[in-house]
């Protein structure tokens, strides 16, 4: 906002450019970004006077070189036609990944609609500030123009980082102005930005604060070790959802409809805030707070405020316990003591707010299998039924 995004010219009618090819592996770039930095890094202190030339291109095109980065919309927009009623997401994507989606046999699928009126409201919260607008590669901060990578030797690491962020911000300004529908742009620029001092420009800051990892969308044949070849989705309503270490919803991205859906993990009383977890939940309260630090808040959920050595132990060990018991049950261990201990673990997970995690349905499955082996048929189907409610 500081830099006048809302005041500049309205979204252009035609696509603006095809972004340059990225040649350097993005893995190093992601590693660089994630290294802890001793100093604050204000945005925009080091700037190059160069500009990058971009060429126009066709939104429906899919025959790209493997490493070519394109800026487009999804669904592809024909500017002589009215916009799609579900809207168009701005999309920064490597060309072969664009082809992967547009060539999927199931694409395009209609965006699923809730059966009734929205069962949620977006409301301001007293201490957490005030929900796909854009889909971008996770390594966006370092991919704007690969020719800049040779500057590594000339500048200090922090200066180099600032230059890359500045280049990235130029690309993003073009995307926000040229590819977003006006109402999407307004919603996007109103999202929170907790990355004020890590060198990110205002738009990159919004992406980093509000992006959901898209499971199943990645460049190349498989996920790399750092997951740096994945994509993030910034959502109009979904990006308004706050964090809790006791989440009550989960989400899933549908590649054919190219949209995110949210699902309740338990019955949610009217008035309770929807939340999902921004961090890995199988760790101690201190480790969770450390992972949340880039979001600029300390979690005050009951599991953080009331954390004890026992709750930390439960969190760090429950997945392993479920796994180990699953193995021993599969190997033939079947006794009442194991059943009692698993039911107790279930109770503890609910109390700790971990019944929204992936481990919980796994636990229900193990209990159900164990009940089957113990001849407890009614319990077997009860736990199986409960487990199925947790599977998307």
Ligand X SMILES: C[S@@+](CC[C@H](N)C(=O)[O-])C[C@H]1O[C@@H](n2cnc3c(N)ncnc32)[C@H](O)[C@@H]1O
- Interface contacts to ligand X, rule CB under 6 A: 127-130, 191-192, 194, 209-210, 239-240, 242-244, 295-297, 299
CA 116 – CA 252 distance, rounded (Å): 20
Length of the chain: 392
Q: Cβ 191 to ligand X, closest distance in Å?
A: 6
Least distance (Å) from ligand X to the CB of residue 215? Answer: 18
| Cβ at position 209, least distance to ligand X in Å | 5
CA distance 33 to 142: 8
Cβ proximity to ligand X: between 76 and 211 the closer is: 211
Indicate the residue among 191 and 354 with the shorter CB distance to ligand X. Answer: 191
Residue 232 beta carbon to ligand X: minimum distance, rounded to whole angstroms: 11
* Between 58 and 183, CB nearer to ligand X: 183
Residue closer to ligand X by CB (options 242, 357) is: 242
Contact between residue 386 and residue 297 where contact means Cβ atoms under 8 Å apart? no
CB of 311 to ligand X, least distance (A): 17
In whole angstroms, the minimum distance from the beta carbon of 330 to ligand X comes to 38
Nearer to ligand X, 80 or 127 (CB): 127
Q: Whole-number minimum distance, CB 299 to ligand X, in Å?
A: 5
**Smallest distance, ligand X to C-beta of residue 297, A:** 4
Q: Which is nearer to ligand X, 19 or 274 (CB)?
A: 274
Buried b (16+ CB within 10 A) or exposed e, 231-259: bbbbbbebbbbbbbbbbbbbbebebebbb
CB-nearer residue toward ligand X: 296 or 372? 296
| Nearest residue (CB) to ligand X, 148 versus 315 | 315
Closest separation in Å from C-beta 24 to ligand X:
29
Which residues share a beta bridge with 135?
91, 233
Q: 64 or 295: whose CB is closer to ligand X?
A: 295
């Amino acid at each position: 906002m500081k830099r006048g995004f809302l005041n500049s010219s309205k979204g252009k009618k035609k696509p603006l450019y095809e972004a340059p090819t990225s040649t350097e592996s993005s893995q190093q770039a992601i590693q660089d970004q994630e290294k802890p930095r001793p100093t604050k890094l204000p945005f925009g202190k080091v700037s190059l006077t160069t500009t990058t030339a971009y060429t126009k291109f066709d939104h429906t095109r899919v025959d790209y070189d493997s490493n070519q980065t394109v800026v487009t919309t999804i669904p592809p927009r024909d500017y002589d036609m009215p916009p799609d009623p579900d809207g168009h997401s701005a999309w920064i994507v490597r060309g072969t990944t664009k082809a992967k989606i547009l060539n999927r046999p199931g694409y395009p699928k209609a965006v699923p609609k809730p059966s009734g009126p929205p069962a949620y409201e977006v409301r301001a919260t007293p201490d957490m500030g005030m929900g796909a607008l854009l889909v971008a590669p996770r390594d966006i901060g370092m991919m704007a123009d690969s020719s800049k990578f040779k500057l590594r030797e000339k500048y200090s690491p922090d200066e180099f980082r600032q230059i890359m962020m500045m280049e990235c911000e130029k690309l993003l300004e073009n995307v926000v102005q040229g590819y977003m529908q006006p109402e999407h742009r307004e919603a996007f620029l109103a999202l929170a930005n907790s990355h004020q001092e890590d060198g990110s420009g205002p738009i990159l800051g919004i992406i980093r604060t509000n992006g959901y990892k898209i499971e199943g969308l990645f460049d190349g044949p498989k996920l790399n070790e750092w997951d740096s070849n994945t994509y993030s989705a910034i959502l109009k309503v979904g990006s308004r959802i706050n964090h809790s270490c006791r989440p009550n919803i989960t989400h899933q991205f549908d590649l054919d409809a190219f949209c995110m859906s949210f699902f309740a993990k338990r019955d949610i009383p009217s008035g309770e805030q929807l939340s999902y977890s921004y961090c890995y939940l199988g760790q101690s309260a201190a480790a969770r707070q450390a992972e949340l630090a880039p979001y600029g808040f300390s979690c005050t959920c009951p599991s953080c405020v009331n954390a004890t050595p026992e709750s930390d132990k439960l969190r760090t060990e429950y997945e392993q316990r479920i796994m180990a018991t699953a193995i021993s049950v599969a190997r033939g261990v079947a006794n009442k003591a194991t059943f009692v201990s698993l039911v107790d673990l279930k109770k503890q997970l609910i109390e700790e707010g971990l019944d929204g995690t992936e481990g919980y349905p796994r636990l229900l499955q193990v209990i159900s299998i164990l009940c089957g082996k113990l001849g407890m048929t009614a319990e077997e189907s009860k736990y199986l039924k409960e487990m199925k409610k947790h599977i998307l």
